[in-house]
Structure 1
Amino acid sequence: MLELQDLSVLRGECPVVDGVTAQVGPGELIGLIGPNGAGKTTLMRGALGLIAHRGASSLAARDPVARAKLAAWLPQAREIAWGLSVAELVALGRLPHGRDQNTVGAAAVEEALRRMGLESYRERTATHLSGGEQARVLIARALAQQSPLILADEPIAGLDPAAQIATMEVFAAHAQAGGAVVTSLHDLGLAARHCTRLWVMDRGRLVADGKPEEVLTEQLLAEVFHIRAHFKITPEGPVFQPLSTLGL
């Protein structure tokens, strides 16, 4: 669904993303993790061809409509500028498919509302919602797009714990149905519990790529995140607990 080959993004002469090679296949929920400024957002924007880059991305060379049919993009910015109803805003996710005011488009919007628990919000004005509620609406808009791949930049930031878990479960279901998701996260516990793979970015480079139990080692947590933490696989699933900082 996505192939990156030696992808780099420069800011002046400084590489913000430095030679990343990676692939995303069906059924994968990939957690993109790393400290602030590691290059996570820039990597996703470069992969979509939204900013100038070197190297290759299988999505970047496509025209915008074709790309949108393959990949939905959920940026960090959550500002909703227009006083649309929730249903109208979610329906904007259907724009890549043309004026499909038919049963397919309507069903996609209804399913997206249901998956994000927004059925009762349908007629509410989106700009009147709380920040967390607006975030859920924008996730629903991405789901309504029905693109097989979703790239989401910190989608659970600012959500309450129940909404964070519910969103990760929605992403997991999308992957299990044959799609794929790449999402940047700062909550390593949710990343460990829900993601099938983790990509670890540090200073622009992809320094680790593997299953959570393979990636979240004591050494990597110390070198990349500067923390000491406890990670264990239990019958209830992975448990991750930060214990202390090692200094920045």
Structure 2
Amino acid sequence: MLELADLTVLRGACPVVDRVSASVREGEVIGLIGPNGAGKTTLMRGALGLLDHRGTSSLAGLDPLARARAAAWLPQAREIAWGLSVAELVALGRLPHGRDQAAAGEAAVEAALGRMGLETYRDRIATRLSGGEQARVLIARALAQESPLILADEPIAGLDPAAQIATMEVFEAHARAGGAVVTSLHDLGLAARHCTRLWVMDRGRMVADGPPGEVLSEALLAEVFHIRAHFKITPQGPVFQPLSTLDT
């Protein structure tokens, strides 16, 4: 669903993303992790062709309409500018499909509202909701787009624990249905539990790519995140516990 080959994004002469090659396949939930400033957001925007770049991305060469049908983009910024109802705002996700899919669009909007637990919010004005509620509405808009690939930049930041887990479960369901998700995360516990693979970014480079149980080693956590942490696969699922910074 996405192929990157030596993708490089420069800020002046400095590479913010430096020669990243990777691929996304059907059925995957990929957690994009790394410290602040590692290049995670820039990588996703470059992959979508929203930034000038070197190297190649299979999405960047598409025209805007085809790209929107192939991939839904959920940016980190959550500003809702218009006083639309929740249902009307979620329906904006149907724009790439044109007016010839009205019935399918209505079904997609209803399904997206249901998946994000927003059925009772449908007639409320989106700008009057809390920050966490607005975040769920914007995720629903991306789901209504029905693009096979979703790229989401810190979608669970600021959500309460139940909403964080529910959102990751929605992403897992999207992947099981034949789609794929790439999402940047700072909660390594949720990344370990809900992602099939992790991409680890550090100083613009992808330094690891693999299943959580292989990637989240003590050595990598120390080198990239500068923390001591405990990670273990248990019968109940992966458990991740930060212990201290390396300076402690």
The match for 1:90 is: 90
- 1:247 and 1:53 mapped to 2: Cα distance? 37
What does residue 186 of structure 1 align with?
Answer: 186
1:240 aligns with 2:217: no
Local SS of the residue matching 1:193: helix
Q: Distance in 2 between matches of 1:12 and 1:71?
A: 28
- Structure 2: how far apart are the matches of 1:93 and 1:59? 18
1:59 is matched with 59
TM-superposition CA deviations, 1:80-121 (whole Å, max 9, x none): 000000000000000000124621000000000000000000
For 1:203 and 1:37, the matched residues in 2 are separated by 7
Where 1:23 maps in the other structure, the secondary structure is strand
Contact 1:34 1:201 in 2 (8 A): yes
Cα separation, 1, equivalents of 2:187 and 2:100 = 38
1:30 lines up with 2:21 in the alignment = no
Instruction: Work out the percentage of aligned pairs sharing the same amino acid.
Output: 85
The residue number in structure 2 matching 1:109 is 109
The residue aligned with 2:69 is 69
Residues 113 and 119, structure 1, Cα contact 8 Å, conserved in 2: yes
Normalising by structure 2, report the TM-score: 0.99
The answer as to whether partners of 1:72 and 1:151 remain within 8 angstroms in 2 is: yes
Query: How far is the alpha carbon of 1:247 from its aligned partner?
Result: 3.5
- Give the RMSD, CA atoms, in angstroms: 0.9
Confirm or deny that 1:45 pairs with 2:51: no
Q: Secondary structure at the match of 1:15?
A: strand
Q: Which runs of 5+ in 1 are unaligned?
A: none
Partner of 2:218: 218
Partner SS, residue 171 of structure 2: helix
Q: Distance in 1 between matches of 2:100 and 2:199?
A: 36
Q: Verify the 8 A CA contact 1:49 1:59 in the aligned structure 2.
A: yes
TM-score by length of 1: 0.99
Q: Does 1:18 align with 2:18?
A: yes
In the alignment, the residues of structure 1 paired with residue 45 and residue 237 of structure 2 have an alpha-carbon distance, to the nearest angstrom, of 32
1:174 match: secondary structure: helix
2:137 and 2:223 mapped to 1: Cα distance? 37
- The offset of 1:150, in angstroms, is 0.1
CA distance in 2, matches of 1:149, 1:22: 15
| Equivalent position amino acid for 2:137 in 1 | V
Q: 1:175: which partner in 2?
A: 175
Residue of structure 2 equivalent to 1:119 = 119
Distance (whole Å) between structure 1 residues aligned to residue 241 and residue 44 of structure 2: 27
- Runs of at least 5 residues in structure 2 that lack an aligned partner in the other structure: none
| Separation in 2, partners of 1:235, 1:56 | 41
Which residue of structure 2 lines up, in the alignment, with residue 148 of structure 1? 148
- For 2:226 and 2:4, locate their aligned partners in 1 and report how far apart those are by CA, in whole Å: 28
Alignment check: 8 A CA contact 1:111 1:144 kept? yes
- Helix, strand or coil for the counterpart of 1:102? helix
Cα distance in 1 between the residues matched to 2:243 and 2:237 = 19
Q: How many residues align?
A: 248
Partner of 1:166: 166
**Cα–Cα, structure 1 residues 121 and 100, in superposed 2: closer, same or farther, change >3 Å?**
farther
Q: Conserved in 2, the CA contact under 8 Å of 1:94 and 1:100?
A: no
